[in-house]
Copies of this chain bind each other. A is one copy, B any other.
Amino acid sequence: MPSTTPHRVVIVGGGFAGLNTARALRRAPVEITLVDKRNFHLFQPLLYQVATGALSPANIAAPLRSILSKQRNCQVLMGDVQGFDLAARKVLFTDGECPYDTLVVAAGARHSYFGHAEWERVAPGLKTVEDATEIRRRVLSAFEEAERTDDSAERREWLTFVIVGAGPTGVELAGAIAEIATHSLKHDFREINPSDARVVLVEAGPRVLAAFPEDLSAKAQASLERLGVQVRVSTKVEAINERCVTLQSASGAETLATRTALWGAGVQASPLAKLLGDATGAEVDRAGRVTVLPDLTLPGHPEIFVVGDMALARDPAGKPLPGVAPVAMQQGKFVAKRIRDRLRGKQTDAPFRYFNKGNLATIGKSAAVAELGKLKFSGFWAWVLWLFVHLMYIVSFRNRLLVLTQWSWSYFTYDRSARLITGEAKKDGQSSSS
């Protein structure tokens, strides 16, 4: 498609999918506009480390403008996309619009409370920097409140932490909170013993880390239990409020009195996915993801790609691809290649293929589970691998150095220095002590 004005690519979302699309187009004869609500790319897999006071937000976030400052064919725009005019090929903002020739939508996902929106207030999830500092505030404030109260029942409630959902986020949060209680805060209090804290991880399915093979799930559960986490599988959450979580399992109902519930269960795609589904006739699933064609475009709209957590793509066996960073990154690169090919006049309908390099999850310090093809392992060396892979993917070199310094220090001292209680307590949520 040679023309005098360059081909305009608009990318919505600066997460793994969007950012990889933009970077893989760096030498293409295109004019890219990357739009994001935030001014930074967030390394979400490490967000739980911010929520548990081990890292600062800036350690796992890099300004999009910095990352792309040398890429002259790319402009970054902070803006909140409201919708699209597919006929006129325009992205619509609250206060303006932006025309495109090719559109890449990668706006990600938030939590899903499965129809219980009222739970969000009492059991926050972990998707943004603000979520992470809010969870940090709640967890640390709970220990402060336990120290202040003279009422032993209330103290018990403040020292009970319930995490819903045993996917990677839930498992990592549970492990980290157990470690904070037994190690990081060991000498910090006078009235309470932080290691009296009770951490309960609740999972509706039959095992933790369901994406892993069964034996690794069992190893992960054993690691969690060694850290003192109580794991409840095949257990559903019936109700959550400021004072308790009600569980239901084959053995009956149970109510856990707790002041701190955290949410690590389902995800819900950006509402932009439904907008696109409605406009193009593509199916939208229960998690709000729009079903894409094998080449990641929408039916009748080869100029629109949908990638990352908001897209429902399938592997050749028809199984949906998981909402993880490697899928998003590979999709971003695939889309960039398709755009380059088309500009060169090369038409292909080759489908996107996900190359699964492996699966990794950590459980507290020095423990992890890893699945690399047929290879499965767990324990210390899996954790070293996890460390290495995550450091390699952290976007800027400088952050890599800082995160490594911080981690090495924490590793040898159990110190979590970013233990700041900041921000105000939400009026309608749990009360705060500040």
Query: A397 → chain B, closest Cβ, in Å?
Result: 10
Which residues of chain A (387-417) have a CB below 8 Å from chain B?
396, 398-399, 401-402, 405-406, 409, 413, 415, 417
A78 to B142, CA, bound (A): 11
The answer to whether B405 touches A40 (Cβ under 8 A) is: no
The answer to whether B402 touches A406 (Cβ under 8 A) is: yes
Residues of chain B lying within 8 A (CB to CB) of residue A413: 398
Query: A342 → chain B, closest Cβ, in Å?
Result: 25
Residue of B nearest to A399 (CB): B417
Which residues of chain A (15-69) have a CB below 8 Å from chain B?
37-40, 56-59, 61-63, 65-66, 69
Determine whether A433 belongs to the interface, using a CB cutoff of 8 Å to chain B. Answer: yes
Question: Do A57 and B422 contact each other (CB < 8 Å), given the known contacts A144-B78, A417-B398?
Answer: yes
Question: Do A69 and B187 contact each other (CB < 8 Å), given the known contacts A78-B144, A421-B39?
Answer: yes
Per DSSP, are chain A's interface residues mostly helix, strand or loop, or mixed? mixed
Which one, B39, B56, B191, contacts A56 given CB within 8 A?
Answer: B56
Determine whether A77 belongs to the interface, using a CB cutoff of 8 Å to chain B. Answer: yes
Q: How large is the interface on A (under 10, 10 to 19, 20 to 34, 35 or more residues)?
A: 35 or more
The answer to whether A433 touches B79 (Cβ under 8 A) is: yes
Chain A to chain B contacts (Cβ below 8 Å), 30 pairs: A38-B421, A38-B434, A39-B420, A39-B434, A40-B420, A56-B56, A56-B57, A56-B59, A56-B418, A57-B420, A61-B420, A63-B188, A66-B188, A69-B187, A75-B191, A76-B188, A77-B147, A77-B148, A78-B144, A78-B148, A80-B434, A129-B420, A130-B422, A396-B417, A398-B415, A398-B417, A399-B417, A401-B409, A402-B402, A402-B406
Residues of chain B lying within 8 A (CB to CB) of residue A37: 434
